[in-house]
Amino acid sequence: KQEVTQIPAALSVPEGENLVLNCSFTDSAIYNLQWFRQDPGKGLTSLLLIQSSQREQTSGRLNASLDKSSGRSTLYIAASQPGDSATYLCASYGAGSYQLTFGKGTKLSVIP
Amino acid sequence: AAGVIQSPRHLIKEKRETATLKCYPIPRHDTVYWYQQGPGQDPQFLISFYEKMQSDKGSIPDRFSAQQFSDYHSELNMSSLELGDSALYFCASSLNRGYSNQPQHFGDGTRLSIL
């Protein structure tokens, strides 16, 4: 059964800093990996999807990478802003599966 | 752009009552997913439907059932509600065409509170 781990559980950085969030998964036969943002009490906003054949995806200040051989994905946020404060979750699909398995998230606080 | 619509946004029920949650996917999306997120927990997959047929099943209790209708909206029916069912219930949709490689787009969720 796929297990997804995110470290650290919480992170506090000053505004303007570049930062990296980590995600690791146990089953390297993942089909793809998706990063989400969740604000308190709110829904999940899809940030980036990396398919198994890809190594990275970029959207604005966000860059996500995928290394299936090591079972890792990273989300890089450039020039962080207070509005980036939220919980970031990664989730993976297994091959032939329709369900996402989520990590427990990293709670990010960007201090003005 | 149109998003996934869930109703109601909040629902308060008592133990042993029933509840029905509704989900309207993004137009033209063919797959709907349901997830349950308990307090301080990560979302847990319950069930999914592709083209109105159940496509995958997760940790959905036998007290719960769901279906996808001809207009692609979906309903999650919950009976004999228990205190532990208090959670945020998310619906997501995607355009898969039979492949599980498309991003899932989530609604804002229904917050269910059991008294």
Residue B98, pLDDT score = 58
CB within 8 Å: A49 and B31 = no
Task: Please give the pLDDT value at position B69.
Answer: 95
Mean pLDDT of residues grouped by 10 in chain B (115 residues)? 92 97 95 93 93 90 96 96 96 78 88 96
Q: Does A93 touch chain B (CB under 8 A)?
A: yes
- By CB neighbour count within 10 A (0-12 exposed, 13-18 middle, 19+ buried), where does B75 fall? middle
Given pLDDT bands bounded at 50, 70 and 90, which one contains residue A53? Answer: confident
Test A43 with B107 for CB contact under 8 angstroms: yes
CA distance B21 to B4: 13
Distance CA B63, CA B20 (A): 12
Mean pLDDT rounded to a whole number for chain A: 91
The pLDDT assigned to A59 comes to 94
Which residues on chain A are in Cβ contact (under 8 Å) with B43? 44, 89, 91, 100, 102
- Chain A residues in contact with B106 by the CB 8 A cut-off are 36, 43-46
The mean pLDDT value for A53-62 works out to 93
Taking a C-beta distance cutoff of 8 angstroms, is the pair B89, B105 a contact? no
